[in-house]
Structure 1
């Protein structure tokens, strides 16, 4: 939230509180405090009222600052949809479907090699927690279609944004692989993958909330310039707003952010 909006909201709070005070506090209370004896009672009343407003306004500024500093989630509401953005651990979200981004080949090899899944990534954490996962069987059962051959080792690849369901988890084909196995997407490919994902979630959410991470905030490179979590989040939100495929109320899309280094709820567009 920029400074102008912060001051406007604090002022609105102050006006509401002061209006309540002026409505119920007797006029005699303001007349009883004579600050300037050389002025009329009426002028002292005006000054007293002004002091009360300033005191309440500065209190509202303080409370607003504390609120903005400590809040952990915000909601964006539109026609028949809700987006919730919050800090947290994606794997600890309850009563919801959870999207885990893989690469376009659904690689399952976790390690420190260029083409391996980083063990600290969401995908790496998921695979380490599910070491016996049979990805080939899941792919076969899902009916997901092969999109062609990856640039990396000629492996079969799948369209970015398509998902495979495994219990509460929706495993998502996401990063395209280059010749050495690094994950990369152009900005256009990133936006297209989001459009496909919204279509998939419309089919898979099953009257539950769906939680996703800030896609692309890990090791995947998006476009020519490195985008911050804040920039990626704004792209995700705007893409979802424009999509015809959305999770209908009372269920919602939850975007779970695990790092606050280059991200703030108060800087989200439209909040």
Structure 2
């Protein structure tokens, strides 16, 4: 089932002429990785898909409905976003922060229910931060704060998960745990769309890829179609060596 789609979407990036129009169909069960060098517009694209920035041209749809015609609360029930950086404006505990994920599902002034609390605690446990539930988020390490942000998204429980560098600040164990969690979300019928800097995480976990070039060009398709050394070397302006790891390509930067 198609959750999120774009129609001739051109992302509005200051100082850049119109890039490739994007016609993406992000469907249930798919895990998309967005790859590209710094400044290619990955974060801007993610914010545009979330409805936080207007595109230069083109349209966005959730199912058959244009996002521009939807109430923000209804969009938030179907789309959730993890930002690359986290700004905590006021003191809050980890549990209070994660419970904000339930806000799209509550009416004005409605308090969280026992079911909401259970969902938050389950997400905290899945992200290995339940033991931090009473800590202020301002006291957390970068990796702990990142896992709290992902737990908030899980508590929100949208159909489509948008994540900007979900592996930021995470050690190897928690990188794998988060990618396995996102894979389970896709297997349960959700769609995952995330920006990644780590080419090998994308090769290991994503079944679809979008390559964004600095000049505004883009190409997309199945991971098998996109994981071509020539395309990736052009993307990063870097020669690569490819190693086969049990049927999955592993890319290593080649020496000059």
Question: Above 0.5 in TM-score?
Answer: no
TM-score by length of 1: 0.32
Report which of the two structures shows the higher radius of gyration computed on alpha carbons: 1
Structure with greater contact order relative to length (CA < 8 Å, sep ≥ 6):
2
TM-score, normalised via structure 2 length: 0.34
